[in-house]
Structures are given as C-alpha cells and as structure tokens.
A = this chain, B = another copy of it.
Amino acid sequence: MLNLVVVGSVALDSVKTPFGERHDVLGGSAAFFATAASYFSPVSLIAVVGEDFPEVHLKFLQMRGIDLTGLERRPGKTFRWRGEYSHQLNEARTLETRLNVFETFRPRIPEAYRSPDLLFLANIDPELQHSVLQQVKRPRLVACDTMNFWIEHKRTALVRLLQDVDALIINDGEARALGGDPNLVKVARTIREAGPATLIVKRGEYGALMFSRDRIFAAPAFPLEQVKDPTGAGDCFAGGFMGYLASTGNLSEEAYSRAVVFGSVMASFAVEEFSLDRLRQLDYKEIEDRFKAFKRLTFIEDL
C-alpha cells in the first residue's frame, strides 16, 4: 500500500441539471478525488475551507478515512461554484464563481506528508502546483490536472510544471488546446515529449484514452440510463485511478490500464446522483461488479 496525497479545492457547489437542483452541496476537485480514492486506499487531502464550511461535510470525509490534517480552515467563506447543465449534460455553464478563501490559497504540505508515494495535483494555478512539488521529496508518481484557463493564461508555468509530472489527466478539449492540434494521437506525442510519460484524455460520455510508452488504451464510459449530475466526474476518475494504483503498489502499464477502468467506474457512479451522494452509499462489492461489467462491455472473443 502506497501513500497518496491530493492537493486541490474543497467547495460548496450549487448545481442545476434537467434532473434537479442542489444548493451548497459538497464539491471541489480534492473532495471528489479523495472520496473516490478512499474506496481503494488511505488518502491525505490538502485544501482550504472557510469558517462557514459545514461540520457534516468534514465528518463525511473523515468517515471515508480521509486524513484532513492538511485541510486549512481560514477566516472567510468557502469557495463557491454555481453552474448548470443543459439536457445533453456534456458541459457545465458556470453561472458564478466565488473563490473566497481559495483566492489566497497557498498549499502548505504538513511535515507528515512530505514523502508521498503518489501525489495528485488537482486543477489549480500551475505555479501553486509547482510549489507543492518543491515542498515534497520526489514521489514515485506525480499526476496532475489543469484547465483551459491555465493553458491560455499560464502556459509557461504549466509547461514548466509538466516537465516534472508523470501523468497528465485532462479532458479532450484541454488536450487539444494544450497540444495545438485536433488530432489526439499527434497531441499525445507533443504532450508526452513535454514531460508526462502518460497522458490520459477524459472524454466524458465517450470514455477515456490513455497514451503511454508502449500502448494506447481505450476505455469506454459505462453506458448509464440515469445521469443526474456530471460535476466532479473527472476528479472521481482521477481518484479511482490513483487510489487503485496506491492500493496495489504496482505501477506497471498493466496496472495503469486497470486503474483507468477503476477511474471510469468511480466516474460512472459519481454522475448517477448529485454531488457525492452516490458515493455516500457505495460499497466495494458494487465497484468490483462494475469493473467486471466494464470488462464484459469491451470483451471480444479471439477469432
């Protein structure tokens, strides 16, 4: 069992989809990531919340075995995001972002976490992501996420960060923007040459593609009849991916492929309900069953 640390956001989300509406529910990249990862391995969360952050959410994260030593509580309000999805559920329209205490977040890694085996840098300013790397002993695996805003406005810092990253986990629009080409195979070559040996492209309802040294691996998304809220699916994917790798201690290409499927499994559960509600009532047996269903989904007999 390897130890796993995530740095990112914990937020209160207000979300509207064609299937309902929720106000100030638990969200943020690190919360989604850590909750998904917690089904596989212990995880330590580095983030910041305000004085208004509800005790019930802290209890939930603790109950999931997530180490909150690195969760700062600062004067002011918690990061809030408000968004809505159309009937296609493919992309959120952000209605309001209030960074609040997150605006001045400078991740400080507690002494106890300075030798993580696996480190996930969720989507924050690439300069902050880089500052985290400078505070820790080189982990065995550093993975990160980013977003179009940083690709556009902080490309230099992002490119510098990528030199020290093993796995970049981003969505297809971001990959194309970063790689500067519509063709993902070309994009993968460009990005992998810039640093990350592994590129994982998340494609929402179309699944994920992993480009690594010897292989391209394709995982479909699990076909679901009910998708209520896609918020956090990408972070749950990353959490399942990293959590599974931490649990096995195996960082081979084969393990990465299985990890992509566990990531897809966790994302598929996440979208079935709002916020982290589906993950509140999930057990490991269900995760294993869906992993097997994923295998059946793409299984082809030999000729």
Contacts and interface: CB of A to CB of B under 8 A. Distances in A.
Contacts of A301: 254, 257-258
Interface in A168-209: 182-186, 203, 206-207, 209
A226 B185 CA distance: 9
A223 to B, nearest CB: 5
A261 B215 CA distance: 19
Interface in A286-303: 288, 291, 294-303
A254 B215 CA distance: 26
A300 B224 contact: no
Contact of A218 (B223, B227, B302): B223
A298 B218 contact: yes
B216 A300 contact: no
Nearest to A298: B298
A220 B223 contact: no
Contacts of A254: 301
20 contacts: A183-B224, A183-B227, A185-B224, A185-B225, A206-B206, A207-B218, A216-B297, A218-B220, A218-B298, A254-B301, A257-B299, A257-B300, A257-B301, A258-B300, A288-B303, A291-B303, A294-B300, A295-B302, A298-B298, A298-B300
A51 to B, nearest CB: 41
A105 interface: no
A210 to B, nearest CB: 10
A132 interface: no
A223 B227 contact: no
B182 A88 contact: yes
A30 B258 CA distance: 40
